[in-house]
Amino acid sequence: MTPSTTEIFDQVSELIAPFNQKSVPIKPETTFATDLELDSLSVMDMLAAIEDHFDVTVPLNILPDLETVGQVAEAIKDILDE
């Protein structure tokens, strides 16, 4: 059984913590670029950590659609369900 989106969201939030320099509260609608002020390199490092944790591949093709933490959790859920 794959974890629920909420469980995935909680794990993703933990993985984001090291990149959350300003300790912004993480909600599903928190954005990487504006709220967390991450540049594209940090986003890539963060995604790599998420990929390793869930043992999944997040293709570059879907990156433009992943603006918020919630969207990443959804995407991981979809990939795990495939």
Partner 1 sequence: MTTDLFEKFDSTLNEYNKLPEGELNPFTVSMDAVISPTEAIINGRKTILAGTNNYMGMTYNEECLKAAHEALSSFGTGTTGSRVLNGTYNGHKKLEETLKDFYGVDHAIVFSTGYQANLGVIATLAGSKDYVVIDADSHASIYDGCAMGNATVVRFTHNDPENLERRLARIRKKDPEAGILVVIEGVYSMLGDQAPIKELAEASKKHDAFVLVDEAHSVGVFGQTGRGVAQEQGVEHLVDFTVGTFSKSVGTVGGYCVSNHPKFEALRLVCRPYVFTASLPPSVVASANKALELIKDSNLRVKLLENSMRLNSGLANAGFNMGTTGESPIAAIIINDKDTAVAYWQNMMQEGVYVNLAVPPATPNGLYLMRCSLSAAHTLEQIDYMLEKFIAIGKKLNVLD
Stretch that binds partner 1, among 4-12, 17-25, 54-62, 65-73 (CB under 8 A): 54-62
Nearer to partner 1, 10 or 56 (CB): 56
Cβ distance to partner 1 smaller for residue 51 or 67: 51
Identify the burial level of 4 via C-beta atoms within 10 angstroms of its C-beta, where 0-12 means exposed, 13-18 middle and 19 or more buried: exposed
Kindly tell me which residue out of 44, 46, 49, 74 binds partner 1, with binding defined by CB under 8 A. Answer: 44
**In this structure, what token pair is assigned to residue 11?**
């794990």
- Minimum CB–partner distance for residue 57 and partner 1 (Å): 5
Taking CB under 8 A as the rule, does residue 67 contact partner 1?
Answer: no
Q: Which residues bind partner 1 (CB under 8 A)?
A: 39-41, 44, 48, 51-52, 55-57, 59-61, 82
